[in-house]
Structure formats: C-alpha cells, structure tokens
Structure 1
Amino acid sequence: MKFLVLGATGATGGLFVEQATAAGHEVVVFVRNPAKLTPRDRLAVVAGDVRDARALAEAMHGTDAVVSTLGLGKAKDPANLIADSTRALVEAAEEGGTKRLVIMSAFGVGESLPKGSAILRFLYKGGRATFADKAAGEQILTASPLDWTLVYPVLLTGKPSTENVRAIDLAELDRLPGLPRISRADVAAFLLATAVEGSWSRRTAVLTTGR
C-alpha cells in the first residue's frame, strides 16, 4: 500500500514510518521541515503546510490511505492547528479520492473524558485547549462521508512494543480505571494494521494495554 503520513517528525509518527517501510509499504510524508527526517527506502518527503488543502491533495495523489499522528508538541496555544488541518485534510481527501483516513487523537478528547478515572480527568485539566482543538477537528472529520477511524491511545510511553494491545470501541466503553499506559510502538503498529486492513471504519478505538 501507499500512505500519506502527517506528523511523521513526531515520536509516534516516526515509528509508524519505520514500521510501514519495513513492511514494504510506500510512504509519502508531508512535513514542514524535511531536514528532520532521515532518508530511507520507500520514503518520499513533501514539504508543506498542513492547513493547505491544495498542497495536501497533490501529496495525496495515488495514495491508498492517510495516517495522521499530528500533534501540538509542547505548545500551550493550539492556534486551531488540528481543526484547521483536519478541515484541509477532509477537503483534500474528498477532492483527491483517497477516502481512508486513520487519525491518532488522544483519550480525554470529547466524549471520552467522562469515561476516564478521576486521576486521568485531573491530569487532563491542563490540556483543555488542546483537547478542545482536537474535538473541533474530529467533528469536521466525523461529519464527512470519508472512511475515517479515530484512535484514542491512553498515556503514551517510549517503551518497546508489547504486542499486547486492547482496542475498545469508545461507544461501548463504560469506564477506563486507573492510569493506563501504552507504548508508542504499539500504537504505531495498530495504526498500520488498521490502515492496511480497513478495520474500525467510522469508529473510535480506545487503545490500552492488556486483554
């Protein structure tokens, strides 16, 4: 398959690119600063602004699916980045014909927040602006006719892959207890499998570790 990837210079996005190219897939990454990427086989790099729908449509040409791990890093003010980039991405996908979009968000966004434990809800208080921006972007995505999947990982770690991932449909989740964690490597593997298999279509998957 051939993927367009947003957020490839981030920790999880970089792992997705590594795993996808290692598995023999073609990857086009759309980034602001190509110098942050190490060249590798089956990887093409396009420089651009994620708010530019026309540039995204051009980069998306010939791809089978889009995978986005786009985040805000340590920025306190999201400046509508996720909402604006999601709007551009949806416009580009509708124009270019790539209907499959797999988007990594975060547990705590939108309807997931009340389903977290008290300690999780307390930790997420500092990220209200970021989560509000993500929620606004997701409303744009889910209102589109595209074949989308939202992925809500819990607290992320840099530990190696465990291959012990539990995916729960947000609509079926009652409560997520404690302070669950999951490795970025496991999340990247789930994103890849979901994009390849076409699973979790128009659903939100909460990712944690365990069975």
Structure 2
Amino acid sequence: MKIAVLGASGRAGSEIVKEAAARGHEVLAIARNPEKIAAAPGVTAEAGDAADPEALAALIAGSHAVISALHFDVPAETLLSAIRKAGVSRLLVTGGAASLEVAPGKRLIDSPDFPEEWKPFAMGGITFLDALRKTDDVDWTFFSPAALIFEGPRTGSYRPGTDQLVTDEAGESKISFADYAIAMVDELEAHNHSHARFTAAY
C-alpha cells in the first residue's frame, strides 16, 4: 500500500513510518524538516507543510491513505481540503486521549486531576475529532492513544478499545510510541474503524 505520513519526523510519526515500511508499505514521509527522517528501505522523505492544502494535495496525490501525526495547530478542514483535492479516500489521525470516556458521559479532560496546562492542546484534539464526526465524504479514523504515551520498547502487544479509556489491572493507561505505531498500522491494514474513533493501551 502507498501511504503518506504527515509529521513523519515526530515521535509518533517516526515510529509509524518505521512500522509501515517494515511491513512492506511504500511510505512517503512528509515533514517540515525531512532531513530529520531516518533513511530506510521503502521510505521517501519529502518537505511539506500541512497548512498549505494546495501544496500538500500535490504531494499526497496517488496515495492509498494518509496518516496524520501532526499537532492540532492545523485545523481539520485544512487537512480535509488537501485530502479531497488529492483524491485520497482514507485519513487516519493520531489523536489525543482527552476525549475518551472514563465513566459514562465523563471524559478524561473532565477529570479533576487532568492538568490545567494540558487543556488548550487537548481541546485541539477534541475540536478536530468533532469536525471529523461531521465529515461523510472522507473515510476517516481517529486513533486516541492511552493517557500516557512514552518512549519505550516495541512489545507487539496492546489491548484495543473504542470510546472508553483502556486501563490495566493497576488502573494505569499507557502505551509506548512503538506499540502505538503497531496499532495504527494494524488499523491501516484491517480497516476496522471507518468513520470512527478507537484507542489502544496495555
């Protein structure tokens, strides 16, 4: 499969590029600073700015899917505009955990111990997901990680979920970037969550 990864030099993006290429996919790795993208078989690094939908559309045209590992400073409609112009049918988004439910009708961001300083960024992810949920003409998937996503080993193990925060027997919700990338590429290949959100954690 030919895929384009946006934000390919970041922590999530670089692991997704690595995982997808290792499985034999043809990866176009796009970043503002492509020199930061590790060279690997099957990976082509290109400079690109997702805030410029016309230029991005030209870059991603011909891809079977786009995986966005961007921060939420690029609005959903800007990215969707590029997807539409390029004629790409699928968009998978590295999302945030804040909108996951910790109890019926109660989101993680609404928890009393959710750090106040994280809320502006977290709201960006929530706004992005809300925009996707109003989108019918692009086959989107929003992947919320565990509450804690960290640099760690690739274990090849995770537990999937949908709209509820996944926690372990100690009540913790966490996953490494490497295993997050496995779950993302699994979704790319299995296509289980069309027009939907899912999550994964240990």
Same fold (TM over 0.5): yes
Structure 2 residue runs without a partner (length 5+): none
- Post-superposition shift, 1:82? 3.6
**Structure (1/2) with the larger helix percentage:** 1
Q: 1:167 aligns with which of 160, 166, 179?
A: 160
The residue that corresponds to 1:14 in the other structure is: 14
The residue that corresponds to 1:179 in the other structure is: 172
Which AA in structure 2 matches 1:165?
A: Y
The residue that corresponds to 2:141 in the other structure is: 149
SS in 2 for 1:151: strand
Q: TM-score, normalised by structure 1?
A: 0.83
The 5 A counterparts of 1:1-211 are: 1-71=1-71, 81-83=73-75, 86-109=76-99, 112=101, 114-116=106-108, 122-145=113-136, 146-154=138-146, 155-170=148-163, 173=164, 178-209=171-202
Asked whether the equivalents of residues 139 and 195 of structure 2 are also in contact (C-alpha less than 8 Å), the reply is: yes
Q: TM-score, normalised by structure 2?
A: 0.86
What do you get for the CA RMSD once the two structures are aligned? 2.3
The 2-side partners of 1:202 and 1:17 are apart by: 23
Asked whether the equivalents of residues 7 and 68 of structure 2 are also in contact (C-alpha less than 8 Å), the reply is: yes
Bigger mean CA offset, 188-197 vs 133-142: 133-142
SS in 2 for 1:136: helix
Identity of aligned residues (%): 27
Structure 1 residue runs without a partner (length 5+): 72-79
The 2-side partners of 1:43 and 1:9 are apart by: 12
